Amino acid sequence: MTHRPGAAGADIVIRGLTKSYGAHRVLDGIDLTVPAGSVTALLGPNGSGKTTTVSIASTLFPADAGSVTIAGHDTVRDARKVRSLIGVTGQSVAIDDLFTGRENLRLMGDLRHLGRGESRRRADELLERFDLVGAADRPVSTYSGGMRRRLDLAMTLVSTPRVIFLDEPTTGLDPRSRRVLWDIIGGLTASGVTIFLTTQYLEEADQLADRIAVLDHGHIVAEGTAQDLKRRVHESEIRLSFDDDESFDAARTLLPSARPVADARRLDLPTDDTVTAMRTTLNLLDAASIDVADVEVHTPTLDDVFFALTGSASAGADATGYVDADDESGAA
Ligand SMILES: Nc1ncnc2c1ncn2[C@@H]1O[C@H](COP(=O)(O)OP(=O)(O)OP(=O)(O)O)[C@@H](O)[C@H]1O
């Protein structure tokens, strides 16, 4: 993007961010840097402080200590400037249920001083882009969850923010609506906007983000690309399953470095070069006339990462928040 001289730098810099509610310390000195034009996900379970972080970074309330700068502007000292640079999506706060989608978008345009003609043009364009044309003239109170989220995001884009905060953009949506939103967010990233996304879904962070920071008990416990984080857990494994104890025992003797999973008559063999290692391993077993019932390569998932880093499964793993399928057909 040509208007962005600092594209090589950071658009969000969080330093030593601390926040307590009463005696409950929610953020305990968080440091995080979000490169311009990147999608960074803050991944954490329910109540880990994701919304608190976004609220402080988007000037909603101050931290107890520490600082956030957006494109070099301090969120407390330069709050007005920061507000002109950011868009916040997630809590549908700007949406008025009694108005139609089109009216909401036009009102936002007026609020952003776009002028009457430009507000109308922008509203039409966004309704089209977010697949809301059919529902444009219905009150938002009749919208499904997925449609609301799309409108919420469209409202953010009425102006052209440099930095967008997406606070749990798909929580509570059914898988189909979630995918639609992922596609839209994926499209946004191509335009070079900086996105700071919070999520409790490992899959979402994996799908959308260039970089992931894992928030747990007030601390960033890990940071990096999805690949970096996966590498921190363990290498890929070749998983060999056997039909009978005799083959399983013989293979155990032949492959002493493999980890036996006796219940499943399975051997897990750590590997970093899966193709060569796979061929060598299978040749070895073949030469010893040991029958293998099944072979698979297991690469670590972000769930494995979360478990390894925090000692517990992610909230997203067992509390998906899925609701009954939204009635997207109502859009027509
Ligand atoms: N205004 C408040 N007063 C007191 N406690 C609060 C307040 N806002 C948040 N908290 C508490 O702070 C903690 C972090 O909340 P926050 O909403 O930032 O977490 P989160 O990671 O966004 O969670 P979720 O995924 O459930 O939205 C929670 O324990 C929450 O109960």
Tens-place pLDDT, residues 287-314? 999 999 999 988 877 777 877 777 765 5
Residue 89 has pLDDT above 90, yes or no: no
Does position 322 have pLDDT exceeding 70, yes or no? no
Give the pLDDT confidence of 106-146 residue by residue, as tens digits: 999 998 888 999 999 999 999 998 889 999 999 999 999 88
Give the pLDDT confidence score for residue 5 in this predicted structure: 39
User: What are the start-end ranges of the H helices in the chain?
Assistant: 50-57, 79-85, 101-111, 116-129, 145-156, 175-190, 202-208, 226-231, 245-254, 274-287, 302-310, 315-318
For residue 300, the 8-state DSSP code is P
pLDDT digits (tens, 9 = 90+) for 217-272: 899 999 999 888 887 777 788 999 999 999 999 999 999 999 999 899 999 998 87
Q: CA dist 92 to 72, 89, 148, 149, Å?
A: 27, 7, 8, 7
* Residue among 224, 156, 226, 142 nearest 188 (CA): 156
| CATH class held by domain 236-299 | alpha beta
Cα of 49 to ligand 1 centre, how many Å? 6
CATH architecture of 5-231: 3-Layer(aba) Sandwich (3.40)
330 CA to centre of ligand 1 in angstroms: 33
Ligand 1 site, residue 200, Cβ cutoff 6 A: yes
Q: Is the pLDDT of residue 1 over 60?
A: no
- Domains in the chain: boundaries: 5-231, 236-299
Residue 65 pLDDT class (50, 70, 90 cuts): very high
The more confident residue out of 329 and 169 is: 169
Distance CA 37, CA 113 (A): 26
Closest CA to 239 of 291, 286, 295: 295
pLDDT mean over 193-198: 94
Å from CA of 121 to ligand 1 middle: 38
Ligand 1 centroid to residue 149 C-alpha, Å: 21
For ligand 1, whether the C-beta of 47 sits within 6 Å is yes
- pLDDT of residue 177 exceeding 90, the answer is no
Q: What angle in degrees, to the nearest 10, is found between the helix axes of 245-254 and 274-287?
A: 120
User: Is residue 26 within 6 Å of ligand 1 at its C-beta?
Assistant: yes
ipTM reported for the complex, 2 dp: 0.95
What is the best residue among 25, 26, 167 to mutate for testing ligand 1's pocket, by most ligand atoms within 8 Å of CB?
A: 26
Q: Is 67 in the pocket of ligand 1 (CB under 6 A)?
A: no
The protein residue whose alpha carbon is closest to atom 2 in ligand 1 is 21
Q: What percent of the chain has pLDDT over 90?
A: 57
Does residue 61 line the site of ligand 1, with CB under 6 A? Answer: no
Centre of ligand 1 to C-alpha 314, Å, is 16
For atom 7 of ligand 1, the residue with the nearest CA is: 21
Distance CA 117, CA 115 (A): 6
Judge whether 5-231 and 236-299 match in fold. Answer: no
Q: How far apart are CA 202 and CA 222, in angstroms?
A: 13
The values of phi and psi at residue 137, to 5°, are: -105, 20
